Structure 1
Amino acid sequence: MAYIAQMEDRLSDRTKREYTSRMREISKKIRVGADDTLKPAMVLARLREMVEYNEIAASTFRLYKSAIMYWIAQQAQALIASGDDTLDYGRAFAELKEINHDKLRSEARTSAKKLKVFPAECKDALSKFAKERGHLAPNAGRASAFADANLLVGLRPIEWFDACLASYIQRHEDGTFVRDAHGKPIFEYMLVVENAKATHGRGNGKRRELILKGITSAELKTLVHFWKIVMDFRERHPKDIEPKKLTNLFYRPMNNMIRRALTASGFAARDIPSVYSTRHQVVSDFKASGIKKREIAAFFGHSSDETHREHYGYKRSGNRGVTFHASPESVAQVSRSSTIRPTQVLSREMSTEIESWVQERDSRRI
Structure 2
Amino acid sequence: MSVTAQTIATYVERAARLRARCAREISVEVAELTPLRFVHWLVEQKSNWSRSTWRSYKAAALYVLTHEDRPLDEGDGAIAILGAESQTGAVVRTKETSAMKAGRFRYQDRMRVYADLRLGRARYGRELIDFLRASCATGLRPLEWYAASLEIPEKGYNAKLVIHNAKTTNGRGNGARRTLRWRHLSPSMMRSIARTIGLARSFLSDDDYTKYYGRLQGCLQDVSRRLWPDKEQCYAIYCCRHEFIAQAKLVYAPAEVAALVGHHDDETAFTHYGRRDSTGVVDIELPIPDEAEVAQVRRTVATQLEALSKLHERDDTPVTSRSPADPQTVAEFEPFPTPPVTKKDEPAPDLSLWPNFYKMLHAPPTDSSSFGSRRERRDDTTSDIEPNENEQTGIKPP
* TM-score normalised according to structure 1 size: 0.66
SS of 1:208's equivalent? strand
Distance 1:119 1:24, change over 3 A: same
Q: Which runs of 5+ in 1 are unaligned?
A: 80-85, 170-184, 338-366
Q: Which amino acid aligns with 1:254?
A: L
Q: Deviations over 1:208-242 (max 9, x none)?
A: 11122x323xx24423334224414532x32x342
CA contact (8 A) 2:101 2:233 kept: no
The aligned amino acid for 2:296 is Q
Unaligned runs of 5+ in 2: 301-398
Cα separation, 2, equivalents of 1:9 and 1:287: 34
Distance 1:137 1:328, change over 3 A: same
Q: In structure 1, what is the equivalent of residue 247 of structure 2? A: 285
Aligned match of 1:46: 41
Among 139, 146, 154, the alignment partner of 2:124 is 139
RMSD after superposition: 3.7
Change (3 A) 1:21 1:106: same
* Secondary structure of 2:91's aligned partner: coil
- After superposition, the Cα gap between the structure-2 partners of 1:220 and 1:334, relative to the gap in structure 1 and judged at 3 Å, is farther
| Mean CA deviation greater in 259-268 or 157-166 | 259-268
2:110 equivalent to 1:123: yes
The separation in 2 between residues aligned to 1:22 and 1:286, in whole angstroms, is: 39
Which residue identity is paired with 2:184?
I
Residue range with higher mean Cα deviation, 193-202 or 293-302: 193-202
Partner of 1:328: 291
Matched, 1:223 2:223: no
- Partner SS, residue 315 of structure 1: coil
Greater relative contact order (Cα < 8 A, sep 6+): 1
Aligned match for 2:82, one of 88, 96, 99 = 96
Q: Residues 1-366 of structure 1: matches in 2 within 5 Å?
A: 12-13=8-9, 15-30=11-26, 37-51=32-46, 54-73=47-66, 77-79=69-71, 86-107=72-93, 112-133=99-120, 137-169=122-154, 186-187=156-157, 189-212=159-182, 214-216=183-185, 219-232=186-199, 234-235=201-202, 237-238=203-204, 240-242=205-207, 245-249=208-212, 251-261=213-223, 268-270=230-232, 273-289=235-251, 291-316=252-277, 319-320=281-282, 323-334=286-297
- In structure 2, do the counterparts of structure 1 residues 112 and 207 end up closer, same or farther at CA, with 3 Å as the change threshold? farther
Question: Which has the higher Rg, Structure 1 or Structure 2?
Answer: 2
CA distance in 1, matches of 2:192, 2:91: 42
Deviates more, 1:56-65 or 1:307-316: 56-65
The one-letter code sitting in structure 2 at the alignment partner of 1:284 is A
Aligned-pair CA distance for 1:331:
1.6
**Cα 1:45–1:150 shift into 2, 3 Å:** closer
The residue type paired with residue 49 of structure 2 is: I
Q: Matches of 2:61 and 2:123 in 1, distance apart?
A: 44
Q: CA deviation at 1:292?
A: 0.9
Deviation at 1:307, TM superposition (A): 1.6
Q: Deviations over 1:31-78 (max 9, x none)?
A: 76x9x9544443343344444xx2332333333333433553466x34
Q: Which amino acid is the alignment partner of residue 314 of structure 1?
A: R
Match of 2:151, SS state, is: strand
Cα pair 2:148 2:164 within 8 Å, conserved: yes
Tell me how far apart the structure 2 counterparts of residues 223 and 187 of structure 1 sit (CA, whole Å): 13
What per-residue deviation string (whole Å, max 9, x for no partner) do you get for residues 99-148 of structure 1? 23345334369754321222222333333334443xx6452222222233
